[in-house]
Amino acid sequence: MEVAIVTPTGEVFSGEADSVVGPGGAGEFGILPGHTAFLSTLLEGPVVVRQGRDEQRFQITGGFAEVHGDRVVILADGVAETAQ
Amino acid sequence: MPSLKDIRTRITSVKSTQQITKAMKMIAGVKMRRAHDAVLGARPYAAKLEALVRHLAAAGAEAAHPLLEQRPVKRATMIVMTSDRGLCGGFNSQLLRAVETHIKGHAEGRYEVIAVGRKGRDFLRKRGHKVVADHEGMGGHVTPEFARELVAGPIAAYEGGETDQLILAFNTFKSAISQVPTLEPILPVPVPEAEEGEAGGEASYLFEPGEAALLADLLPRYVANRVLRALFESEASEHSARMAAMDAATNNADELIRSLTLTMNRARQAIITKEILEIVGGAEALASS
């Protein structure tokens, strides 16, 4: 599935991924391909994007997540740091 | 007739002014490019956020939120974005004219102004408008945090019923040669129209933690993002306006130097002719004596 992480000042990440984990407003959630349409708030915390063995971690300061079809969009207020 | 020396001094001074305008033009060009990148960089997020608001509004009409509430406008707040410095053509004046026309057309006295940029603050104060807050030195330092802080006051005032409308006044960056003064109402939040072919299928969204809570989280961010985009647009417009103004000034200086050089050459030729006549006249007087 396609994942994009965007902040008000630009796109931070865009690409294919096998799974996404995020700090949802109603508890941490994980998204795998084929997830139902989904909209959630995000709290401060790490968003983890996995593709095969690769894992990328984005420390966000809050925002929203939207899943629609095969696309995951993370709207982050800001990204504090990223790590491979 | 000005003396040769006077003209030479003028040419030198015009030349040094031209050097300044040329440098300012180049600096404005670089800054414009940077500001333009910021405008473009902000677009994906803004588009996605707008789509979210649209989806939510379509899915949950009953989940009303205070920021969506339309009421008769008794008092309004305006955020006016201008530059701190001049020498940028009609950038500030065209916007401030549009702002004044709007305020006059909607009963004065009930408008409160938040000024971003020294030029707008000074002008509106002098004209007797109520400037309740002002910010300066924003050039190149616009951040999402600043936009959020800027709009926090008006949002609270709107929720508390102290103001019934919030309008953004800024120059939209159309292109490097065109900036359009824009007045955009952002409170109550205008719900974006659904795009063609997007309707349907939206009711199946799973909302977490619920529509009302999502909306409450989303709307202030949406408003802050509109402000952020306006700030970016305004900055790109400022630099492009300055670049155009400085380009015109540089060309004018070229013209001036050309005509001054012509006058100088004419004056010099006149002096030479006069001297020759004097010598010839003197020689003839000697020869005839």
Interchain CB distance below 8 Å, B214 and A10:
no
- Quote the pLDDT of residue B80: 94
Structural domains of chain A, count: 1
Q: Is the pLDDT of residue B188 over 90?
A: no
On whether both B108 and B178 belong to a single domain, the answer is yes
Q: Which domain holds residue A46?
A: 17-22+35-63
- Residue B45 is nearest to which of A8, A26, A29, comparing CB atoms? A8
CA dihedral A74, A78, A81, A84 (to 10 degrees): 10
Interchain CB distance below 8 Å, B209 and A25:
yes
- Weakest mean pLDDT among B99-113, B149-163, B175-189: B99-113
- Quote the pLDDT of residue B215: 83
Q: How far is B142 from chain A (nearest CA, A)?
A: 10
Q: Is B88 one of the annotated active-site residues of the chain?
A: yes
Percent of all residues in chain B with a pLDDT value above 70, rounded to a whole number: 92
- Residue B209 is nearest to which of A26, A38, A66, comparing CB atoms? A26
Q: Does B49 touch chain A (CB under 8 A)?
A: yes
Residue numbers in B near A66 (CB within 8 A) = 48, 52
Interchain CB distance below 8 Å, B208 and A41:
yes
CATH number at B134 reads: 3.40.1380.10
Q: Which domain holds residue B217?
A: 25-242
Residue numbers in A near B218 (CB within 8 A) = 64
Residue A43 domain-assigned? yes
Instruction: Outline where DSSP puts E strands in B147-282.
Output: 165-175, 178-187, 206-208
Q: How far is B9 from chain A (nearest CA, A)?
A: 50
On whether both B253 and B120 belong to a single domain, the answer is no
Q: pLDDT: is B192 or B121 the higher one?
A: B121
Residue A69 domain-assigned? no
- pLDDT (tens digit per residue) in A11-61: 899 999 999 999 988 888 999 998 888 889 999 999 999 998 889 999 999
Residue A72 domain-assigned? no
- Quote the pLDDT of residue B15: 96
On whether both B17 and B29 belong to a single domain, the answer is no
Against a cut of 0.95, is the pTM above it? no
The ipTM estimated for the assembled molecules is 0.84
How far is it, in rounded angstroms, from Cα B169 to Cα B185?
9
CA proximity to B143, closest of A37, A61, A45, A29: A61
Name the pLDDT band for B217 (thresholds 50, 70, 90). confident
DSSP SS3 for B135: strand
CA proximity to B163, closest of B88, B113, B221: B113
Q: Is the pLDDT of residue B201 over 60?
A: no
Question: Beta strands A54-68 and A71-76: pairing type?
Answer: antiparallel
Residue numbers in A near B39 (CB within 8 A) = none
Q: Is the pLDDT of residue A83 over 80?
A: no
User: Choosing from B56, B57, B88, B103, which is the catalytic residue?
Assistant: B88
How far is it, in rounded angstroms, from Cα B172 to Cα B231?
10
- Weakest mean pLDDT among B109-123, B149-163, B205-219: B205-219
On whether both B201 and B282 belong to a single domain, the answer is no
- pLDDT (tens digit per residue) in B122-152: 999 999 888 999 998 887 788 888 999 999 9
- Quote the pLDDT of residue A36: 86
Name the pLDDT band for B198 (thresholds 50, 70, 90). low
- Residue A8 is nearest to which of B56, B202, B228, comparing CB atoms? B228
Mean pLDDT of B89-94: 91
Interchain CB distance below 8 Å, B44 and A66:
no
On whether both B8 and B80 belong to a single domain, the answer is no
Q: Which of B146, B150, B205, B235 would best serve as a mutation to test chain A binding (most A beta carbons within 10 A)?
A: B205
- Quote the pLDDT of residue B203: 52
Residue numbers in A near B142 (CB within 8 A) = none
Structural domains of chain B, count: 2
Name the pLDDT band for B65 (thresholds 50, 70, 90). confident
Residue numbers in B near A77 (CB within 8 A) = 144, 221
